[in-house]
Structure 1
Amino acid sequence: EDGVYGFLDDEMPLAALAPDSCIVLDSLSKKVAPGLALGFIVSPPRLRESIMAAVRSGGWTASGYAFAAGQRLMADGTAAELSRLKRIDAGRRQQIAAKHLADFEIQTNPKSYHLWLTLPPHWRSQTLVAAAARRDIALTPSTTFAATPGHAPNAVRLALAAPPMEQLDLGLRTLAGMLSATEEDFDSTE
């Protein structure tokens, strides 16, 4: 179970329901700071030795600094407070997205930093990604997430966490305007 963004929601992790069947991967990089590369693995007791051997054989280890910083930030409550503030931030960003993309089909958890935008029939994912990039808006086409080539829906994934709020607001407003126009209005020669 990937619990890296689990702190944004109150959903019970699968591991709480099936502790003998789940391996949980988590990290402080999303909760605290991207540079704090400190990960965690929680596994059923029967798998611990195998997992520890795999981790050791891959040469994965936390630096002394990351370990000490992570330990201190968790012990003094800083990690929990940063998680709380990021939950508020994610909700605000989702509200901005919902406002600007209200006329379009989106799928999301209103507590997350991402959303899935199904494109109007007159747009193709790759074309929109290219047109948006020319306006400094980065989108990820659905093909990136397709398990089988050629079976991706006509959609894009939006990551809402990185830009400052004003830039996010402008980018989403611009994107909504683009979606309302046709592909031909944004051809590759502009």
Structure 2
Amino acid sequence: MIGIEKILIDPLNIDNNQRINQSDHYALQLIINFRTRSISHRSALVILPTLNTRSFIRSYSKEYYPSAGLWPSHFNLLWPFFDLIDCQNDQEDILLRLRLLLSQYPSFSIKINEIDSFIENNIIYMKMNDESTKYVKQLHEQLIKLFPQCLRDKRSSCYNPHMTIGQFDNEEKFNEAKSSL
């Protein structure tokens, strides 16, 4: 059947008098806006210390770590991580996959047994004991398999879990703080 009657294009806007021929076939316009989820250096997947240990850790980091007020002391699991701003599929794409992985791990405690340093960039950090390091490295490896796009460089064997508590702009301040800890 061919329609000979003309109908309004926008029936809700009566001021617009544009009309088209009535038909049983209409073209549809489909606009697909594919967005690639970006990896952001402003985002990380981390382990935070428990509330009852944060004040103890903060006492060190407040004095020696200028970024302590912006970001609490933590252990990085993956950095950079996904930019989760304005993404509606986080629940399935990231959080569900993350929950499924973490549900396979029993809860655990991280034991810190010393304060160590990275001399090459004047950083002082809290170091885990060997058992905690091994466990966190295993978790890190599983996370890399789950989110390979978050791997900053291909040298994942160099992953050294640590909690930065001091960063210094020169070697003199670094050595002074290191000797006081």
TM-score range, shorter chain: under 0.3
Identify the structure with the greater strand proportion. Answer: 2
TM-score, normalised by the number of residues in structure 1: 0.24
Identify the structure with the greater helix proportion. Answer: 1
TM-score, normalised by the number of residues in structure 2: 0.25
